[in-house]
């Protein structure tokens, strides 16, 4: 009997031993093991009222086409981001993605003399620009040659898509519509859809007509018609917000934006830059307009540069002016675009120098590039 009980006790002990061993083998590894993964921070890289009739008409001439392409400079006036997680053989990691800022489209009016692959790369590299404004009334050449070239270069463009109006009489809305209708079924829509063509300047120098100037209702109807045949394309006019005609209803319905192009020369009523920035932004918002800012770098200087401008008796901006005015203008929230008039490799200024040569000098070039970095790092509007 004693032997039988001893055998039972030994069996029970062996059973408990095997149960304990099995339980210990099922326990998880230490969660503080050095092999466990960590989620890193994502890495991101930047890749854009009162009424009045003042306009800088003398210093902002239309640059007419001088090539068969019918492309001209206008008046004066990417990056993928993803997190890179640590790789772990024990844990499944969560990745965090942060959308990169698209940046504010930033560039020049014109760029005549640089409308080829080498020219686009040159100005992108030296000035940090991403967009430029020109005029074209030739749908076929623009769609088949020019826009593909711009797309391949990684640039963006805004266009005036009709010929310069006849300022010697009244503004004619129906004539303008007829001219714009040439773009119907032209094939331009694919370049709007892919973001190569980002804006349509429907009119420049809106107060230059010797007869009747366009009304706010005319401008809104122009924008409506543009959107009808060119859906998805931003519409704008070159006129500062405080100079825009006020619609009967108080706000614009179809026109998307106006251009506040700052000049600092004596006699032009833009005033101190700090006040200008605040007033134009506030007025644009009251009118229901988006904000495009810029500067007249070729003719809008205060004289401290000592460099005669495009027009006789006026001055180009100095590097210090470019930086001071530009930083203030780029600081406006929800800015849609920033354009400087002008950088042109073909036009000769009042003192006989080539306009682009002045801005190619190191100090001015660095100032313009510096603003480009600010624009690239900014969120921009929509």
pLDDT at 71: 57
DSSP state string for 240-303:
-GGGSPPPTTSS-SS--EEEEEE--STTSTT--HHHHHHHHHHHHHHTT-EEEEEEETTTB--S
Distances (CA, A) of 192 to 50, 58, 147, 230, 231: 34, 33, 10, 8, 8
pLDDT at 167: 87
pLDDT at 266: 83
- Rounded Cα distance between 92 and 82, Å, is 17
pLDDT at 8: 54
Q: What is the topology classification, in CATH, of domain 71-81+97-376?
A: TIM Barrel (3.20.20)
Where do the structural domains in the chain lie, given as residue ranges? 71-81+97-376
Which candidate, 96, 98, 86, 104, places its Cα nearest to that of 45? 98
- Rounded Cα distance between 168 and 266, Å, is 28
Q: Average pLDDT across each block of 10 residues of the chain; the chain has 382 residues. List them in order.
A: 47 48 43 33 35 45 43 46 35 41 92 98 98 96 98 98 90 97 98 99 94 98 99 98 98 99 91 98 99 98 97 97 99 98 97 97 98 92 64
């Amino acid at each position: 009997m004693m032997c039988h009980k001893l055998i039972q006790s030994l069996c029970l002990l062996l059973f408990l031993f095997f149960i304990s061993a099995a339980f210990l083998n099922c326990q998880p590894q230490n969660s503080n093991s050095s092999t466990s993964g960590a989620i890193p921070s994502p890495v991101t890289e930047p890749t854009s009222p009162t009424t009045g009739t003042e306009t800088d008409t003398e210093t902002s001439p239309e640059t007419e086409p001088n090539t068969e392409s019918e492309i001209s400079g206008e008046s004066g006036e990417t990056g993928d981001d993803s997190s890179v997680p640590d790789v772990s053989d024990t844990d499944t990691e969560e990745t965090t993605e942060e959308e990169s800022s698209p940046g504010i489209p930033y560039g020049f009016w014109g760029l005549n003399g640089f409308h080829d692959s080498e020219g686009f790369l040159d100005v992108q590299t030296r000035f940090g620009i991403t967009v430029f404004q020109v005029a074209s009334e030739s749908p076929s050449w623009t769609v088949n040659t020019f826009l593909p070239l711009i797309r391949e270069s990684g640039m963006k463009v805004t266009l005036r898509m009709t010929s310069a109006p006849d300022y010697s009489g009244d503004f004619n809305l129906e004539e303008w519509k007829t001219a714009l209708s040439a773009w119907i079924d032209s094939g331009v829509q694919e370049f709007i859809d892919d973001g190569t063509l980002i804006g349509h300047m429907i009119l420049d120098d809106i107060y230059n007509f010797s007869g009747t100037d366009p009304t706010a209702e005319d401008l809104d109807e122009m924008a409506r018609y543009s959107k009808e045949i060119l859906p998805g394309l931003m519409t704008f006019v070159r006129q500062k917000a405080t100079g825009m005609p006020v619609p009967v209803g108080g706000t614009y319905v179809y026109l998307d934006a106006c251009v506040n192009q700052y000049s600092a020369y004596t006699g032009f009523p833009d005033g101190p830059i700090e006040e200008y920035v605040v007033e134009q932004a506030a007025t644009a918002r009251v009118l229901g307009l988006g904000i495009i800012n810029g500067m007249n770098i070729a003719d809008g200087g205060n004289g401290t540069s000592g460099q005669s401008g495009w027009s006789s008796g006026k001055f180009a901006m100095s590097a210090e002016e470019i930086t001071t005015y530009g930083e203030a203008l780029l600081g406006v929230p929800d800015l849609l675009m920033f354009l400087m008039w002008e950088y042109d490799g073909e036009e000769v200024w009042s003192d006989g120098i080539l306009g682009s040569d002045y801005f190619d000098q190191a100090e001015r070039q660095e100032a313009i590039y510096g603003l480009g970095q600010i624009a690239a790092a900014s969120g921009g509007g929509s």
